[in-house]
Amino acid sequence: MTPHEALAKAITLAGGHRALADKLGINRTAIYQWKVAPLERAKAIEEATAGQITRAQLRPDHFDPPSEAA
């Protein structure tokens, strides 16, 4: 999943742009401007989706993917 796809899925899981914006405490128009999640919002988006979308999926350029148990 690309970072753009991860953001789109996070928006859907949160219940839409307005719902995600409310969970993040920001204006929904900000979310419409994002191509990928801003680094400073990645953790909050992960929390808003109950971990269904991780910060590593949103920003793989800054976070390591979770290691898989062997």
Query: Can you give 5-36 as a three-state secondary structure string?
Result: HHHHHHHHHHCCHHHHHHHHCCCHHHHHHCCC
Q: Looking at residue 66, what is its pLDDT?
A: 64
Q: List, for the chain, all residue ranges whose pLDDT scores fall below the cut of 70.
A: 66-70
3-state SS assignment for residue 44: helix
Q: Looking at residue 12, what is its pLDDT?
A: 97
Predicted TM-score of the model (pTM)? 0.86
Domains and CATH numbers, the chain: 3-58 (1.10.260.40)
Q: Looking at residue 70, what is its pLDDT?
A: 52
3-state SS assignment for residue 42: helix
Q: Looking at residue 64, what is its pLDDT?
A: 81
Nearest to residue 54, comparing CAs of 8, 10, 4? 10
Rg, Å, the chain Cα set? 12
Q: Looking at residue 62, what is its pLDDT?
A: 93
